[in-house]
């Protein structure tokens, strides 16, 4: 069986993403997301994941995501090793982002729309009921007399 290296993580950006370009002109964005871990003994740990996005994904992340926003990333775990300025080898695990899901463009409207939908489920608005009644194309029709033998199935 082949090994699978896929991660899906959702969390809040701890800072605005940093966009830079390589010498070859490739866009690369670095950021950190804070994800909630599994609660234990009444405490929910926070896991800080370093993420790296490339090309168009990097530009989208840098241009449209801001500190505090909740984002979802899908990617693979990468061991990023390098030699630090002090000559010691530094190794860290990062998420190489393949797919990125950003919040809605106007994130202020989305929660309000959701809360209105929830409220209307509990307290129907008579005005909405009239509109729904008028939109039913079968509300003015007469019943059709069909026997089971007339149906093709």
* Domains in the chain with CATH codes: 7-103 (2.40.50.140), 104-134 (no CATH)
**Each residue's pLDDT tens digit, 3-54:** 789 999 999 999 999 999 999 999 999 999 999 999 999 999 999 999 999 9
148: its two tokens = 């089971």
69: its two tokens = 């926003």
Of 42-46, 112-116, 128-132, where does the model show the most confidence?
Answer: 42-46
**Each residue's pLDDT tens digit, 61-94:** 999 999 999 999 999 999 988 898 999 999 999 9
Rounded distance, CA 28 to CA 81, Å? 17
**pTM score, whole prediction:** 0.64
Determine which helix (DSSP H) or strand (DSSP E) holds 49, and give its type and residue range: strand 46-54
Within a 10 A sphere around the Cβ of 95, how many other Cβ atoms? Answer: 21
Residues 6+ apart with CB under 8 A from 50: 30, 31, 32, 92, 93, 94, 95
Grouping H, G, I as helix, E, B as strand and the rest as coil, residue 89 is strand
Rounded distance, CA 91 to CA 137, Å? 65
């Amino acid at each position: 069986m082949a090994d699978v290296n896929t991660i899906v993580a959702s969390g809040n950006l701890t800072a605005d993403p940093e966009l830079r370009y390589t010498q070859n002109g490739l866009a690369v964005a670095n950021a950190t997301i804070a994800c909630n871990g599994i609660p234990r003994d009444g405490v929910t740990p926070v896991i800080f994941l370093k993420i790296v996005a490339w090309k168009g994904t990097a530009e989208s992340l840098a241009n449209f995501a801001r500190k505090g926003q909740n984002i979802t990333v899908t990617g693979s775990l990468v061991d990023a090793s390098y030699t630090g300025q002090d000559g010691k080898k530094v190794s860290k695990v990062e998420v190489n982002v393949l797919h990125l899901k950003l919040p809605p463009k106007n994130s202020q409207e989305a929660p309000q729309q959701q809360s209105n939908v929830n409220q209307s489920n509990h307290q129907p608005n008579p005005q909405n009921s009239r509109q729904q009644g008028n939109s039913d194309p079968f509300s003015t029709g007469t019943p059709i007399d069909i026997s089971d033998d007339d149906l093709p199935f």
